[in-house]
Amino acid sequence: MGGTQSLALPPGKGPHQVGCADVMVGHTRQGLFLRLFYPCLPRAGAERPLWIPRYEYCRGLADFTRRSRLWCAPLFSIAIGSCKVPVSWNGPFKPCSSGYPLIIFSHGLGAFRTLYSSVCSELASWGFTVAALEHRDHSASATYFCKAEAGREEWIPYQRVPQGQKEFYFRNKQDSVDLTKVAVMGHSFGGVTAVLALVKEPSFRCAVALDAWMFPLENALYPKVPKPVLFINTEKFQTPESIAKMKRLSSRNSQTKIITILGSVHQSQTDFTFLTGKLINRFLGLRGTLDPYKGLDITSRAALAFLQRHLNLEEEFDQWDNLLEGIGDSVVPEAPFCRSKL
Distance CA 50, CA 114 (A): 9
* DSSP structure string for 70-118: HHHHHHHHHHHTT-B-SSEETPPBPP-TT---EEEEE--TT--TTTTHH
Which residues fall within 8 angstroms of residue 342, CB to CB, at 6 or more apart? 240, 243, 244, 247, 334
Regions of the chain short of the pLDDT cut 70: 1-7, 27, 63-64, 138-145, 148-151, 155-181, 216, 220, 276-286, 336-342
Q: Which residues of 111-148 are buried (b: 16+ CB within 10 A; e: fewer)?
A: bbbbbbbbbbbbbbbbbbbbbbbbbbebbbbbbbbbee
Q: How many CA atoms lie within 13 A of 15 on its CB side?
A: 5
Q: 214-252: per-residue pLDDT in tens?
A: 876 777 677 788 899 999 999 888 888 888 889 989 988
Residue among 334, 117, 104, 106 nearest 233 (CA): 334
Residue 138's pLDDT is 66
Q: Are 238 and 308 in contact (CB under 8 A)?
A: no
Q: How many CA atoms lie within 13 A of 21 on its CB side?
A: 11
Active site residue 318: no
Strand bridging mode 102-106 / 142-146: unpaired
Which residues fall within 8 angstroms of residue 15, CB to CB, at 6 or more apart? 125, 126, 127
User: Which residue out of 117, 121, 125, 211 is catalytically annotated?
Assistant: 211
Distance CA 93, CA 82 (A): 26
Residue among 145, 157, 25, 36 nearest 93 (CA): 36
Helix (H) or strand (E) holding 233: strand 229-234
Active site residue 135: no
CATH homologous superfamily, domain 17-333: Alpha/Beta hydrolase fold, catalytic domain (3.40.50.1820)
User: Which residue out of 16, 138, 266, 310 is catalytically annotated?
Assistant: 266
Ranges of H-type helices in 276-325: 278-284, 292-311
Distance CA 280, CA 295 (A): 20
Which residues fall within 8 angstroms of residue 193, CB to CB, at 6 or more apart? 106, 175, 176, 177, 184, 186
Whole-number Cα distances in Å, 233 to 64, 263, 279, 300, 306: 22, 11, 26, 13, 15
Distance CA 132, CA 311 (A): 19
Helix (H) or strand (E) holding 121: helix 117-125
Residue 84's pLDDT is 92
User: Which residue out of 188, 242, 264, 300 is catalytically annotated?
Assistant: 188
Q: 158-197: per-residue pLDDT in tens?
A: 566 666 665 554 444 446 322 334 799 999 888 989 999 9
Active site residue 175: no
Kindly list the domain boundaries of the chain, sorted by start residue: 17-333
Q: What angle do CA 86, 91, 93 make, to 5 degrees?
A: 120
Structure-derived torsion over alpha carbons of residues 256, 206, 189, 320, reported in degrees to the nearest 10? 60
Tell me the pTM: 0.84
